[in-house]
Structures are given as structure tokens and as C-alpha cells.
Amino acid sequence: MIDRVTRLEEKEVWGYKNVTVNEPFFQGHFPQYPVMPGVLIIEAMAQLSGIIIVGNREEVEKRNMFFMGVDKVRFRRGVRPGDKLEMHAKMTFHRNSTSTEQAKMEVEAMVEGEVVATATLLVGLFPNNETN
């Protein structure tokens, strides 16, 4: 749900998603007044956040990222077809133990410089126990 990462630092990442009328969720949410579902805005911000903690492609295959909590979610206005959803995520806490890695992310999404959503995401990385 991210079209492009525009900037990446050690503990922060910026990116965006161009929201088009062709998105499948607009067919049912809502046909007369299409609005991007809030849960998908959170998912887009979470995917962007994952870039900070997951790292390179090799790491992606070794571990799975899961939500451990979503706090302080606020939606300030709707996201409509044609909007460019610009997102920013900042890691504010990080702990790495032998079996899991946990992080807290402060995230926000904006359209044309106006904040449309904010949240605090708690994520965990767990070993991928699949054997090939």
C-alpha cells in the first residue's frame, strides 16, 4: 500500500500512496461518496513503518512483522480518490531480544499538508519458523 519511499533515515521514513478511484475498496466504501477505510490508512502507515525495523530483503524472509498494539488513533478527515496520501513514521522505542524484536512507531498521514490520521503503532518481529 506504499507507492514510493521518498526518504529513509535510521529511525524515520517518509513515503506516499496515490489513492485512485480504481482501488477495490471504493466499490463498497461508499459507492456514492468514496472514502478510503481508516483501517487501510493504518495498514499503509504500518507498512511504511516496517521498512525501518525490517530492513533489507534478506531480513524480510527470516522474520514476520505483526501488530502488537495500535494506540491513540485519530482520523481528522477522509481520504478520497485522487488524493496523495503522504506518510511519515518515526521509531520512538526499540528493543531487541534473542527471540523477538519490538518497536513503537509514531505515524502520521497527510493530504496536501493537512493531517488526516495519526497513531502509535506497536510492532513485533518474530522468527519465521517455516522450513524450506
pLDDT (average), residues 71-100: 94
User: The domain that contains 49 carries what CATH number?
Assistant: 3.10.129.10
Overall number of domains in the chain: 1
Query: Would 94 be classed as within a structural domain?
Result: yes
Of 111, 126, 100, nearest in space to 16 by CA = 111
- Residue 100 confidence (pLDDT): 82
94 is catalytic: no
Query: Would 16 be classed as within a structural domain?
Result: yes
Query: Would 34 be classed as within a structural domain?
Result: yes
Residue-number span of the structural domain to which 18 is assigned: 4-127
What percentage of the chain carries pLDDT values higher than 90? 70
pLDDT (average), residues 76-88: 97
- Residue 60 confidence (pLDDT): 64
Query: Would 84 be classed as within a structural domain?
Result: yes
Of residues 45 and 97, more confidence is placed in 45
pLDDT (average), residues 58-64: 70
Query: Would 132 be classed as within a structural domain?
Result: no
Return d(Cα 109, Cα 111) in angstroms, integer.
7
pLDDT tens by residue, 12-48: 999 999 999 999 999 888 889 999 999 999 999 999 9
- Residue 132 confidence (pLDDT): 45
pLDDT (average), residues 65-83: 95
Query: Would 102 be classed as within a structural domain?
Result: yes
Mean pLDDT for the chain overall: 91
Return d(Cα 121, Cα 103) in angstroms, integer.
8
CB-based contacts of 9, cutoff 8 Å, min separation 6: none
Place of cell 513485533: 124
pLDDT of 59 above 70:
no
* Catalytic pick among 14, 29, 108, 122: 29
Query: Would 35 be classed as within a structural domain?
Result: yes
Query: Would 105 be classed as within a structural domain?
Result: yes
